[in-house]
Amino acid sequence: MSRVVTFGEVMLRLSTPGFLRFSQVHQLDATFGGGEANVAVSLANYGIDAEFVTRVPDNDIAAACLSELRGLGVNVSHCIKGGDRLGIYFLENGAVARGSKVIYDRAYSSISTIEKGMIDWDAILEGADWFHWTGITPAISQGAADVCLEAIQAAGRLGVPVSCDLNYRKKLWKYGKSVSEVMPELVSGCDLILGNEEDAEKEFGIKPEGFDAEKTEGEIDQARFESVCRQLMAKFPRCKKVAITLRGSINASHNTWGGVLFDGSKLYSSKRYDITHIVDRVGGGDSFMGGLIYGLLTYSDAQEALEFAAAASALKHTIFGDYNRVTVAEVESLMHGSGSGRVSR
């Protein structure tokens, strides 16, 4: 069984029921989530030995969070305790012409006060088959960026492949360093880079010519993104593969979805999914990443790995919460054309 380690912040998620606005509600639905934890949950669902590493406070809310992750099959034995609070994010789900809204309340969270030397990365990554992080983590604080770099460097020493979801979050870069100052050193240690058209442009100034995400009307020319992949690989020579998720936003409830994978010589394009009634798109990119890691570890064919990632993420859009609670059999069924939604009896 392959072993994958992820590192980042897990948060309490407080979302409005259904599609109510913040101004309408008197109660919020409480769950947990966060980019790297979401990837670990996906992988655990697929039978991978998935471990999530983070820093959380020593209180009942954090204990409930770790208990939930354990119950979902994720190893949290190397999570450390410290700091005062678990980060929170508030979500208002959009519908049709009204977009979703996210409000962060994660200042001074436990992971934001993490420091170098607190985690023994050599011990944790010994024998691992993969390490994954996202651009959200180094955006939190200098300490989080430093520890993320420690992990990437340890993985490099131990020969563990490293993946990164660029995940640009404008609202998070507030501690005095810009994304362009921090991310290049971290991404230079990666074997696989995942992003979308905004991530590559905002972090490295790399973008497809003539593309405007606001004007796609659901139609995206996948081949247009080969130049983005080539530019990222040229900038980061260690990188062996680049994946781009492609979301065509018709409105908040109706998106098209797919992706491309470039290995330095060939661009693979996935099937395009028409997602007409989105339940929850948060975690969509994480579910794609989890599916892609699983696919690359499991299948010998890159096209099949990409199709697994796209199908897994299309299913995530039908599931409430950050986590993609699907099985390999469900994903493979959709991959092979069973998308009717008929009742399974």
pTM, whole model, 2 decimals? 0.94
Q: Is the pLDDT of residue 229 over 90?
A: yes
CATH number of the domain residue 113 falls in: 3.40.1190.20
Task: Please name the residues in contact with 83: beta carbons below 8 A apart, sequence gap of 6 or more.
Answer: 55, 56, 57, 108, 109, 110, 111, 112, 113, 114
The C-alpha angle 246, 251, 253, rounded to 5 degrees, equals: 95
Task: Please name the residues in contact with 239: beta carbons below 8 A apart, sequence gap of 6 or more.
Answer: 187, 190, 191, 192, 193, 232, 233
The token pair that represents 220 in the structure block: 């995206």
Where are the alpha helices (H) located in the chain, listed in sequence order? 35-45, 60-71, 121-125, 136-140, 142-158, 179-187, 197-204, 226-235, 284-298, 302-316, 328-335
- Domain extent at residue 19: 3-334
Task: Please name the residues in contact with 49: beta carbons below 8 A apart, sequence gap of 6 or more.
Answer: 1, 2, 3, 4, 75
Any idea of the CA torsion for 273, 274, 276, 279, to the nearest 10 degrees?
A: 20
Number of structural domains the chain divides into: 1
Q: Is 280 inside a domain boundary?
A: yes
Q: Is 343 inside a domain boundary?
A: no
Q: What is the pLDDT of residue 1?
A: 83
Residue at 327: amino acid letter: T
Which among 281, 292, 226 has a CA at the least distance from the CA of 250?
Answer: 281
- Structure confidence by residue, pLDDT tens digits, 36-85: 999 999 999 999 999 999 999 999 999 999 999 999 999 999 999 999 99
- Structure confidence by residue, pLDDT tens digits, 97-140: 999 999 999 999 999 999 999 999 999 999 999 999 999 999 99
Residues forming a β-bridge with 245:
259
Q: Is 179 inside a domain boundary?
A: yes
Residue 101 has phi, psi (to 5 degrees) of -130, 140
Q: Is 311 inside a domain boundary?
A: yes
- Structure confidence by residue, pLDDT tens digits, 246-302: 998 899 999 999 999 999 999 999 999 999 999 999 999 999 999 999 999 999 999
Q: Is 71 inside a domain boundary?
A: yes
Q: What is the pLDDT of residue 318?
A: 96
Sign of the CA dihedral 25, 30, 36, 42? negative
Q: Is 344 inside a domain boundary?
A: no
CB distance 251 to 271 below 8 Å:
no
Q: Is 340 inside a domain boundary?
A: no
Q: Is 69 inside a domain boundary?
A: yes
- Structure confidence by residue, pLDDT tens digits, 135-157: 999 999 999 999 999 999 999 99
